[in-house]
Structure 1
Amino acid sequence: RPDLSTLCLLVGAEADGALDEAGLDAAQVELDRLAGLLPYRPGGPQAWAVALRELLGDRLGFHGAPADYQRLESSLLHEVLVRRRGLPILLSVVWMEVARRAGAPVYGVALPGHFVVGFGPDEGQVLADPFDGGRVLTGADAELLVAGATGTHLDPSMLRPADPLDVVLRILNNVRAWAAARPERSDVALWAVELSLLLPSHPARLRYERAQLLVGRGDFLGGAEELESYAEVVRAVDERAAERVRGEAAAARAMLN
């Protein structure tokens, strides 16, 4: 099972050139320290959720706010540990990694539009919202979160534990969304796409996005080669789309002249 905290910290190292091996170790030590502040095996899922809320939310002030969506640091685990602010998914990583170290039955739950954490088995599952300081959610709370994001009802499949690699991909999607709103930060968009492509399960269209970023940043040859490669992938399902992509590749090569 991939170590989620390590994967998240490696994303942070890509974003922050000053985050060296000592900084990576310090973040892991901080997670260990926080876990040591929890009571010893407080009880069932509800007791674990309350213990995490009391420590991380009430006592230490970990939470989120709308303004955090405007900051790249909100998607970087080492920054979230220092600022105690972040996006729902990064705060959930803090909750999960601290709780896991203490022996809690914890996992991420990727509700549409809002990531939370779950404790315990399906039949006794307890959800908590780290973005709201670890507030323990009722069934109605979860229904409202899903309805607000999708306009539909909560489906039991939405409550399944999230795979660590899917969590990382969702974090990188948030970074890409942040960069997409800031055209001058195409450097951030590029590394977020390239890290996403390293994951074993990723949308094929990310290769097209990478090609566009390369062309936009002046790497016309690299972009053209990526477009040509992507066109071969697309050709198997849509020849007309593949032809359009090949046309874009030719246009990128023409910019070399």
Structure 2
Amino acid sequence: MDDDSAKYRDWFAEEARSERPDLALLCLLLATAGDPALDDAGIDAAQIELDRLAGLLPYGPKTPREWAGALADLLGRECGFHGTSGEYRRLGASLLHQVLERRRGLPILLSVVWVEVARRAGAPAYGVALPGHFVVGFGDPGAPGGPVLADPFAGGGPLTGNEAELLVMDATGAPLEPSMLTPASPLDVVLRILGNIRAWAAARPEQSAAALWAVEFSLLLPSHPARLRYEHAQLLVQRGDFLTGAAELEAYAEVVQPVEPATAEAVRGRARAARAMLN
């Protein structure tokens, strides 16, 4: 790992553990691993662009529905931010600075743009992690009738209750639950973005380096699924770092031993197999 990569990872870890993590900054710091050309100046430029867009919103207090409409008019209609099916094949669709440049991205990254522009303008906006499709909420999620929902992937158009229900039904086969409308924290959003990158890389064996850095950034978050340690170890072995991978497999086995002894023993077997590849 070069000095710049280490600097951005340390910065990411520090920001993730701060009292109020900056979502845009976290997204830009992880993007430095996906685009080595992204440097301090590029990070500043992306933040400035978010500030500029926020400055274009009409001034003055608004209802949640009016805020949603103002964001859709500016970002969706005037600026042309939206998604296409092809974005799911692009790593850049998960990198915030490229989404700002191309005005295309995955639902969650477009939602980050909406939320960050709205936050800078004082709007009550937040990410809503519906299963299978990330959207933006405006207003109090506990208010009668729930929040006003908008779908940035579709240009920011408002989502009716029935449309949100259909999105959830298509993804899970289950109905929309009120708990699904809870605002997503910045760290939850970042973990989901990194999960998308891991899934993208998993479908492309030649992209194991992307899978590795996505897991490593996930492990820098103060809270993450324990199984990511196993995934990290497997990737190290896959990429030929047998000793480090074996050591991490053994460490993961110690974690799961108290609750899943059979799984722990199987993982230790994989660690022995990894070490044997050096012979």
Q: What is the TM-score normalised by the length of structure 2?
A: 0.91
Q: What corresponds to 1:149 in structure 2?
A: 171
Match of 1:62 in 2: 81
Q: Residue 204 of structure 2 corresponds to which residue in structure 1?
A: 182
Amino acid at match of 1:140: N
Question: Runs ≥4 in structure 1, deviation > 4 angstroms?
Answer: none
Identity over aligned pairs, percent: 73
The DSSP-based 3-state class of the residue aligned with 2:198 is helix
- The aligned residue for residue 249 of structure 2 is 227
Aligned-residue CA RMSD (Å) = 0.8
User: Paired residues, what number?
Assistant: 257
Q: Secondary structure at the match of 1:35?
A: helix
User: Deviation digits for residues 65-107 of structure 1, max 9, x if unmatched?
Assistant: 1110000000000000000000000000000000000000010
Residue in structure 2 matching 1:83, options 89, 96, 102: 102
Is residue 104 of structure 1 aligned with residue 130 of structure 2? Answer: no
> What residue number does 1:127 align with?
149
C-alpha separation in 1, matches of 2:92 and 2:43: 15
Pairwise CA distance, 1:225: 0.4
Q: CA deviation at 1:41?
A: 2.6
Matching residue's letter, 1:36: G
The CA deviation at 1:34 is 0.3
Stretch moving more, 137-146 or 71-80:
137-146
CA contact (8 A) 1:41 1:102 kept: no
Residues 141-220 of structure 1 mapped to structure 2, 5 A cutoff: 141-220=163-242
Larger mean CA deviation between 186-195 and 121-130 belongs to 121-130
- Residue 59 of structure 2 is matched in structure 1 by 40
* Cα distance between partner residues in 2 of 1:94 and 1:238: 41
TM-score, normalized by length of structure 1? Answer: 0.99
CA distance in 1, matches of 2:93, 2:171: 20
Conservation of the 8 A alpha-carbon contact between 1:41 and 1:103: no
2:161 counterpart (134, 139, 146): 139
Q: Deviations over 1:8-47 (max 9, x none)?
A: 0011111111101000000000000000000013510000
Corresponding residue SS for 1:140: helix
Deviation at 1:188, TM superposition (A): 0.2
Determine helix, strand or coil for the equivalent of 1:107. strand
The 2-side partners of 1:212 and 1:17 are apart by: 24
